[in-house]
Amino acid sequence: MGDEEKKSRRDFLQRASLLVAGGCGALAAVEVVVASLPPAAARRDYFSVGHLADFRHGTLTFLPQPEVFVLCDDRGLGAFSARCTHLGCTVRRSSQGFQCPCHGARYDEQGRLLAGPATRDLDWFALHIDADGGVWLDRRRRVPAGTMILPELPGVKQS
């Protein structure tokens, strides 16, 4: 490991420790996924879900528009739909995770299907972080359940 790499790593750890009191922006101690945002012209299918500072570690935030939950935990930040995959009713929190009020489908805390009549998990969507820490949801791009991103820290070289 060269001096420059050691310095970069030390700077990175210092910045990460300074951000511990913050939200998901502090979760950069493990593998970091750089999430870039496309040019403005291609963003019409992107939905702003807030800023990195809005999301606290260990929280699940419901956003009524566009009916998604944003999960912030040790793995980073992820988002999944609140719409039941059976016929589209909005699920509600339950002791096991989520339950659909329409026909009773149940999902665990990450939207994985526990009981029908739905036949698949809640939909997870790709998230992107812009240069200002804005968090954007890509409504066109579904990702496997449990997919999380770790926000990039500005000025820190990613490995």
Which residue ranges make up the site for ligand FES (CB under 6 A)?
84, 86-87, 89, 100, 102-105, 117-118
Q: Do 149 and 137 contact (CB within 8 A), yes or no?
A: no
Burial of 9 (0-12, 13-18, 19+ CB in 10 A): middle
Q: Rounded to an integer, what distance in angstroms lies between the CA atom of residue 29 and that of residue 150? A: 9
For residues 27 and 118, which CB has a smaller minimum distance to ligand FES in the complex? 118
Considering the complex, what minimum distance in angstroms separates the CB of residue 118 from ligand FES?
Answer: 5
- CA 33, 47, 123, 61 dihedral sign is positive
Residue in the structure block whose two tokens are 């002791």: 95
For residues 16 and 102, which CB has a smaller minimum distance to ligand FES in the complex? 102
For residues 81 and 110, which CB has a smaller minimum distance to ligand FES in the complex? 81
For residues 70 and 118, which CB has a smaller minimum distance to ligand FES in the complex? 118
Considering the complex, what minimum distance in angstroms separates the CB of residue 138 from ligand FES?
Answer: 24
Contacts with 84 (C-beta within 8 Å, 6 or more apart), sequence order = 90, 91, 100, 102, 103, 105, 118, 122
Token representation of residue 35 = 């999430």
Considering the complex, what minimum distance in angstroms separates the CB of residue 80 from ligand FES?
Answer: 15
For residues 77 and 84, which CB has a smaller minimum distance to ligand FES in the complex? 84
Considering the complex, what minimum distance in angstroms separates the CB of residue 97 from ligand FES?
Answer: 14
Considering the complex, what minimum distance in angstroms separates the CB of residue 104 from ligand FES?
Answer: 6
